[in-house]
Structures are given as C-alpha cells and as structure tokens.
Amino acid sequence: MTEASLISSYDALLADLDGVVYAGPNAIPGAVESLERLADIEVALAYITNNASRSAEQVAAHLRELGAPATAAQVFGSAFAGAELLATLVPAGSTVLVTGSQTLVDQVKAQGLVPVTSAEPTPDAVIQGFDPNLGWKDLAEAAYAVAGGAVWVATNTDLSIPQLRGIAPGNGSLVAAVTAATGSTPAVAGKPEAALFTTAAKHLGVSRPLVVGDRLDTDILGGNRARMDTALVLTGVDTVRTALAAVAGQRPKYLLADLEGLYEPYPEISHSDGVYRCGASSAMVDDGTVHLTGDLANLDTWRAACGAWWSANPDPATAALPALQSAGSPVLADSAGR
C-alpha cells in the first residue's frame, strides 16, 4: 500500500511568501507546481504575509505573475488581521488614527470604523502599519494619541525589511519609536502572533491547517502559537542548524527541503534507549554533544538530530547550537546540510 503524503493529513496549507513561494523576483523551483497540486487533492490554500502596505489583490496579482494560483480571497495580510483585531477592541463607529498605507485605511473602513488623520481630538484607537512614506510627524501623531489613552494595535512588528540596497527599518522599528515615546506597547496582529493564522483559518472554514514558512521567529513561532502544525522549508532564511538550536516555541513539527516535500510521506522518527532514528540516520546526545550517524546531506540525519536534542533540552532559555560529531569527528559549520 502506498504511504500517504504529508499534506494529505491536512485540509489547508497556510503558506508564507518570501523564502517559500519566491526569492527576490523569481519563484522558487518547484513551488508553483506544488501549490497548483493542492486543488487536485482538495486542500485549501492561503497566503500569510506581514506586509501591510499592499492590498490582497496586489499580492495575488504578483503571485499570478509568477504562475502561482492566487485570488485576493486567498491572501491574508497583517493589515486585514490588524483591522479585524481592532474591531474586537473598540465598538463600531469608533475613530481610528491610521498610521500606515491606504490599504490599511481601507481595511479599517471595512470593519465599520472611522479613519482619522490627527490625534486631536484624541481618537478612540490607533492602528500602525508600515508605509514607506511615513515620517516623524506621523509617528508623533500616533504617540500623542497613544499617550492620550487610545487603544493601540500594530499590524506587525518586523524590525527590518529587505530592500534592493540592503536591510531597512520595518514596521517594528517604527512601532518601537512610539513605544519609546509613550512607554506603551500595542496589541499585535501579524506574525509571530496567532491572530493572522487563526483569521485565515476562520475565513477558509478549515479545522486542520498546516503552516509552512522559512522563518522560525515569525512563521513557525506564529503557527505554534495558533496551535497549528508547522513545517520549516529550507528555501529561505532558516537552516537545519538554526532549527536544531531553536527554543521550544520556534521548533517546527516537520523539516522539509522545499514545498515538494509536502507530497512525500514524512519519515517516522523513532527512539529507543536515547537513540533517535530517522530512515538510515540516527542521533544521540551525550554530555551536551549530539552524535550523528548518517549522511550530513540527508535531511533525515538532521531530523534525527532535532529529535534527540529537543528531547534532551525541552525548554531552553535561549537558542543554542550544540556541539556536533559525526563518525567521531566534529561537524564543521560549513558541512553539508542547510
């Protein structure tokens, strides 16, 4: 009997974008085809993004240009989740100072709230999302409103965003400026909080989604906080080593090379007498060192390593990569395996 694929156990895929579907201007090899196959097995698809400056249709249009299946209804951004979260905190008709993009203004209006542009008189709430045109005066208005007692929601708290010229301040850096001025902290809708994931699942009408992402500190942490199963793909930011080193809340249920792994049976990780086995690979922890048996280029070796190390260190205070040995020799940082 043919073993079932990993994705066949789920009714939806909640996919991150950058590092999962595309990298820079191009689709990741195999990603588009993997996403297209979901319809054939009746698994729903949603895209989860912290971007609060682009509308759902703009994101969907970009995905379609890459060949991926996408409609606006499948895109869940932090502007949408932030406005929904805000609507649970203030009554309909409340005034909201929108510090962000026109997309965020539109989402606030859609929730029956009234956008304003000034902190005078003090509005009922402030919602803060990224927009490259924001300046000091915008942040000052937000600070005045928050200090005046307005409810405060941030769409997301990403400290940085990648740009063509390098890494630039993200919404989290702008939120931090208002926090520094007021001593207050906002409610947050985007990753790594649970709201963005639970919002998507609610609107899709699904009960068993799988979250897939390339970042432990946003995608995996957020999915875990939403009490959903999570899969880390190794096509973006994080690697097998950062996964092995991760704190408990950022540990994924699955390690996949890419989205094509969704259509393969996920190998069982078994253990006996402290030895964790996955396929032909095994791992055990002895005196703080993880001893590996198996090809370091084989993902099963790192799956076994994670099983052994995570069991020995169920709730570490900080992320820490253990010492690694294979065939009695230290594993160097540039050894095979992402």
Give catalytic residue positions.
Answer: 16, 18
Alpha carbon distance 264, 290 (integer Å): 27
Contact assessment for residue 91 and residue 65, using Cβ atoms and an 8 Å cutoff: no
Contact assessment for residue 74 and residue 49, using Cβ atoms and an 8 Å cutoff: no
What is 106-144 written as a DSSP string? HHHHHTT-EEES-SSSPPSEEEE---TT--HHHHHHHHH
Closest residue by Cα to residue 53 from 96, 17, 126, 103: 103
Q: 228-233: long-range contacts at Cβ-Cβ below 8 A with a sequence spacing of 24 or more?
A: 228/14, 228/197, 228/201, 229/10, 229/253, 229/254, 230/254, 231/6, 231/255, 231/256, 231/261, 231/262, 232/256, 233/19, 233/20, 233/257, 233/258, 233/259, 233/261
For residue 88, give the DSSP letter.
T
In the beta sheet, which residues pair with residue 254?
231
Closest residue by Cα to residue 43 from 266, 268, 259: 259
Tell me phi and psi for residue 200, to 5 degrees.
-60, -45
